[in-house]
Structure 1
Amino acid sequence: MKIQKVGIIIKHDSPEPQRIGEEMVTWLAGQGILGVLDRITADMDILVILGGDGTLLHVADQASRLGIPVVGVNLGSLGFLTEFAVENRYEALENIISGQLAIEDRLMLKARLRNDRITTDWLYALNDVVVSKGSVDRLIKMETWADDEFIASYKADGLIFSTPTGSTAYNLSAGGPIIHPGMDSIMVTPICPFMLESRPVLLPSATKLSTRLAGRVNDVKVIVDGRPVWVMSSKDYLEVEVAEKTLRLVASSHKGYFEILRSKLNWGGRS
């Protein structure tokens, strides 16, 4: 793949990302490549994310729909997805230009809300779709189905539908397992369930999931990759399934998946 046009998306919480982004535009021009700040167009060959995982998640929907590969340069704190260190940014770009970096296809979810009156557009999620009780002052009950088969009524603070990529995010904090991103699957994890027997469930990627609120409940939030997008009531069904598109994520050839886990989660190494 010949690189001719690169989009650079920056995190707008300090002047530093802007400065680095402008420097990268100048560097790319020296390679005969057009760099464009803070814009995504279909003719771009690659997107460079300057920020943390949240910055990458913000553009994952659009990047996946357009099929543009994404490379994350970490200016945040954790950086599971933005795995390239900022001091290695030009080395990463050189490797991309020369075709030396691999591209991984990361499974995406899509979600929509429907009731008797409306059906929303599908929204894409790289990490997760979360039903959260928000300001509701009691546990909520969520009746949940896999295809046409009833799974369970979860009485909890909420419910997480997670991709393998998102298994190290909210799912992990809620007690769900880590899933290798090479697996095609969907994880359903209750948040602080009332019954300890309510355990996470791992489902095949072909599963079409749906959930609705039992009882008279309003003002429950649906959050897609960290963004509150809908308010859910007992009249609504939330539908979640695997999206047709994947996110094309540029991966480091120097680090394996478990090396990244050990580094980010402070797991012990060999004795």
Structure 2
Amino acid sequence: MSDPRLALLASPTESARDAEGRLRAAYHFVAPQDADIVIALGGDGFMLQTLHQMLETDQIRPVFGMNLGTVGFLMNEWHLEGMVERIAAAKPVKVTPLRMKVTTVSGDIHTLPAINEVSLLRETRQTAKLEVQVDDRTVIPELVCDGVLVATPAGSTAYNLSAHGPILPLGSGLVALTPISPFRPRRWRGAILPEKTRIRFCVLEAVKRPVSAVADQREIRDVAQVEVANDPSTPLTLLFDPNHTLDDRIAAEQFIT
């Protein structure tokens, strides 16, 4: 794309706002709805926030992130100079989100996207008790745990990795089903499933043992049932410098000791 129209978004941190001012003084930007590509300044949390806003408004654009946060796994390095040239040379990476459908104890229904993971977490000191179904087949009648999560390849190095789940290469067509502090079954450490798999969690004793469901950063409390499936209808595109792409970073994580 020659001379793409660029929009600029920044997190509210001091460093990101300072970088925003420097970029606006050096380059021309348009409103996000008029842009071909969005520049995002911040950390991974701000990148997820930006992508979720695009999904909610149906204004999906490729995003080139520059890290002005803490980890910046989904971001490129921050540089003022050469931004147009970097974007022209950037490698696109497609990320397919999950779709979480939640039914609460009171009967309310919520549907939310998740780019990294969907997680179920106990709300109180009581352990959660969950029935786990895969493609309408019960695979674990009663999982006693602090919680469980379903992670995409892009999210497999985040919460999933902290919960001792597997790292999944981008483009693998897989999702990770990972328990969080499982008590029973004691030896179950999770599963790797095709991304087309439909996963359902039924909360047992939902009133006595309340459970919340979280899609990336958005939480629904007191859930009775959660369905998770891949959503190929809304692919997202992240742009990376060719020498340090997201799939390279995910592969490298497997060798960090």
Q: TM-score of the superposition, structure 2-length normalised?
A: 0.87
**1:204-225 deviations in Å (ceiling 9; x for gaps):** 1111111121113354221111
Please tell me the residue identity of whatever aligns with 2:216: D
What displacement does 1:6 show?
A: 2.2
Give yes or no for the alignment of 1:212 onto 2:240. no
Give yes or no for the alignment of 1:144 onto 2:132. yes
8 A Cα contact 2:10 2:42, kept in partner: yes
**1:94-137 deviations in Å (ceiling 9; x for gaps):** 221xx3212111121111212684322x3111101111113x11
Aligned equivalent of 1:157? 146
Q: Which runs of 5+ in 1 are unaligned?
A: none
Q: In the alignment, which of 60, 66, 82 is matched to residue 67 of structure 1?
A: 60
Aligned equivalents of 2:7, 2:248: Cα separation in 1: 29
8 A Cα contact 1:162 1:186, kept in partner: yes
Aligned equivalent of 2:81? 90
What displacement does 1:77 show?
A: 2.0
CA 1:261–1:113: 2 relative to 1, 3 Å: closer
Please tell me the residue identity of whatever aligns with 1:163: T
Aligned equivalents of 2:251, 2:200: Cα separation in 1: 34
Aligned equivalents of 1:178, 1:221: Cα separation in 2: 25
Give yes or no for the alignment of 1:240 onto 2:228. yes
Aligned equivalents of 1:227, 1:256: Cα separation in 2: 27
Q: In the alignment, which of 32, 43, 47 is matched to residue 52 of structure 1?
A: 43
* Percent of residue pairs identical: 26
8 A Cα contact 1:126 1:247, kept in partner: no
Q: In the alignment, which of 94, 99, 103 is matched to residue 110 of structure 1?
A: 99
Aligned equivalent of 1:79? 72
Aligned equivalents of 2:84, 2:225: Cα separation in 1: 44
Aligned equivalent of 1:171? 160
Q: Which runs of 5+ in 2 are unaligned?
A: none
What is the root-mean-square deviation of aligned Cα atoms in Å? 2.3
Aligned equivalents of 1:267, 1:66: Cα separation in 2: 37
Please tell me the residue identity of whatever aligns with 1:76: G
SS in 1 for 2:71: coil
Please tell me the residue identity of whatever aligns with 1:156: C
